Amino acid sequence: MGYLCILIILSLQSIFFSKIEIDGNKSFPEKKIIQKLDLAFPCNIDEQILDDKLKNILVFYKNAGYLNAKVKYTKNGSTLSVQILEGPLYSIGRIEIKGNKFTKSSNLEKILGLTPGKVFSLPEFENGIERILTFYENKGFPFIKISPSYITLGENTLTISLGIEEGPRLRWGKVIIKGNTVTKPYVIERQMQIKKGKYFSSQQLMESQANLEELPYIKLNGKLKLIKGDITGNVNILVDVNDARSNRIYGLLGYIPEENNKKGGFLGLLKIDMLNLFGTGRALSIQWNKQISPYTKLIFIYKEPWLFGTQTSLNLYLSHEINDTLYSFSKADIEFVSNLAQKLSMNAKTGIEKFTPAVMELPPARKYLFGTGVRFSNLDNPVNPQKGIDYYFYSEYGKKTSNNVLKFSVSLLNVIPLFKNNASAITIVAKNLKTNNPPAPEYEQFTLGGYNSLRGYRDRQFRAIQLLRISPEFRVLLSKKSRFYIFYDCAYFKTSIYSAGEVNEFLKCGYGIGVKLSSKIGIISIEYAIGEEKTFMKGKIHLGLDATF
């Protein structure tokens, strides 16, 4: 037992020093080398950890072309003396590539990216090897192997030799799916966008993985796997999935206090999404919205994915709103959405709008419209992102009997990671309306105010023909679906009063706090915001629940 204790004590010996001296360094300053150690002084460190720290210096030298560099240390009192033997600086001599049949050696040398006579860099060499592997994998060679070596010639030059084993060139075979009990196999195959008979591509495999991860009604069990094809020259893909809950219900309840002789009360929103009807990927959404005026709106959306087997989907949009006893407004749209690239999509829309006055001194109106837009989104998590952007631009032209209406809108969400589990998010929204017969009536103008808009104000409190809204947030990410956040909304906008033809400018700001918490029943959200009446009792409260079933 005594011997064991001695061995444990010896194994845990530490080294104390308050100063470091570097000797033998000719190519790099002492300060830069000490930075590679990443130590704080005075230092009391385990001997094994110190050895690992010194390896950082060795790796630094080898990456810079000093392949024979050596590092050792001695300790004199409270001073750690580090001796460096740099050795020769190696440059690139000849480059030899053997075993390649698919493409010429000169092409592979260009992909490798090394220039004879240039100082040899180990990271650049490894990156070049990776580029050659990627080149072959995207040309149908999933089992490519490269055996790199470098041979010393003279004192400071290298002959670099690469041995290529290309392996068979394969084509896409079958997509084998297991684990799905509700979702139809063709839904998964279409989302993967794999073209049977085309040559294998590792880039396509990664994109197929990302495409499947975007589907909310399935869950992938690990990465896509390659298995031997049934036919010589083919490679099959194994997709292991589980069906996820595909229906979603979202409810929002808000309270607006009475202010400026305007009555207060409760407002609400209820939205039901069925995202995978009968396992076909078709979607149906119904939304009911009630606000204070009184104002009610009913929305119906149907999605037909992969129209005629393409990567274009069709959306049918119907809505009807009643604004107090003043007027009703109905809308019917048909929209085509096409995926242009992994994160890029484009949409085209056509439809009809109908305005029916009840009390307002406005004539009934009908407008035919055509719109187009483009979206780019690379958010790492659509529910609770920590990084990425979401950009959308949309333009719309509307034709009435004697009026033409042109609308533009741009929105940008930029999420930037700050520290661990912290992020900043800034939303910028700009909109503009033009007509050949101003002023534009109220129902044509953009709405502003309320949840997901200018917070701290009533929902749809303002109408605008032009607006610019900037909303920065600081977020503390509590989990994958939970966060606490502080926000500030500021909007500059112009309003047009139809009866008087006046145009007025406003600058309104609001701020507040919110939290989204993931629970067994769904994501619970609470948000409190204060507008221009900066008193606690005048604040606006919204409670929300987002659940799947």
Interatomic CA distance for residues 503 and 512, integer angstroms: 30
Q: What are phi and psi of 188, to 5 degrees?
A: -65, -40
Query: What type of residue sits at position 59?
Result: V
* pLDDT value, residue 34: 85
* pLDDT value, residue 499: 65
Query: pTM for the full model?
Result: 0.82
Query: Does 2-85 carry CATH code 3.10.20.310?
Result: yes
- Name beta bridge partners: 153: 157
Using DSSP's 3-state secondary structure scheme, residue 126 falls into helix
Cβ neighbors of 260 (< 8 A, separation 6 or more) are none
* pLDDT value, residue 33: 87
- Name beta bridge partners: 177: 239
* pLDDT value, residue 11: 42
CATH classification number, 247-548, choose in 3.40.50.2000, 3.50.30.10, 3.20.20.70, 2.40.160.50: 2.40.160.50
* pLDDT value, residue 360: 66
The two structure tokens encoding residue 241: 């999935």
Tracing tokens 């001599």 back to the chain, one arrives at 93
* pLDDT value, residue 75: 82
Interatomic CA distance for residues 306 and 190, integer angstroms: 7
* pLDDT value, residue 41: 75
* pLDDT value, residue 12: 47
Q: What CATH architecture applies to the domain 91-165?
A: Roll (3.10)
Please give the CATH topology (third level) of the domain spanning 171-243. Answer: Ubiquitin-like (UB roll) (3.10.20)
Task: Report the chain (549 residues): mean pLDDT per 10 consecutive residues.
Answer: 39 72 89 84 81 88 90 85 91 92 95 92 93 96 91 82 94 96 96 94 94 93 92 93 94 82 82 96 95 87 94 96 86 96 94 87 88 96 93 96 91 95 96 91 91 90 95 96 97 85 90 95 94 82 91
Every domain of the chain and the residues it spans = 2-85, 91-165, 171-243, 247-548
Burial code (b: 16+ CB inside 10 Å, e: under 16) for 202-224 equals bebbebbeebbeebbbbebeeeb
On the question of a common fold for 171-243 and 247-548, the answer reads no
> Cis ω on the peptide bond leading into residue 29 (within 30° of 0)?
no
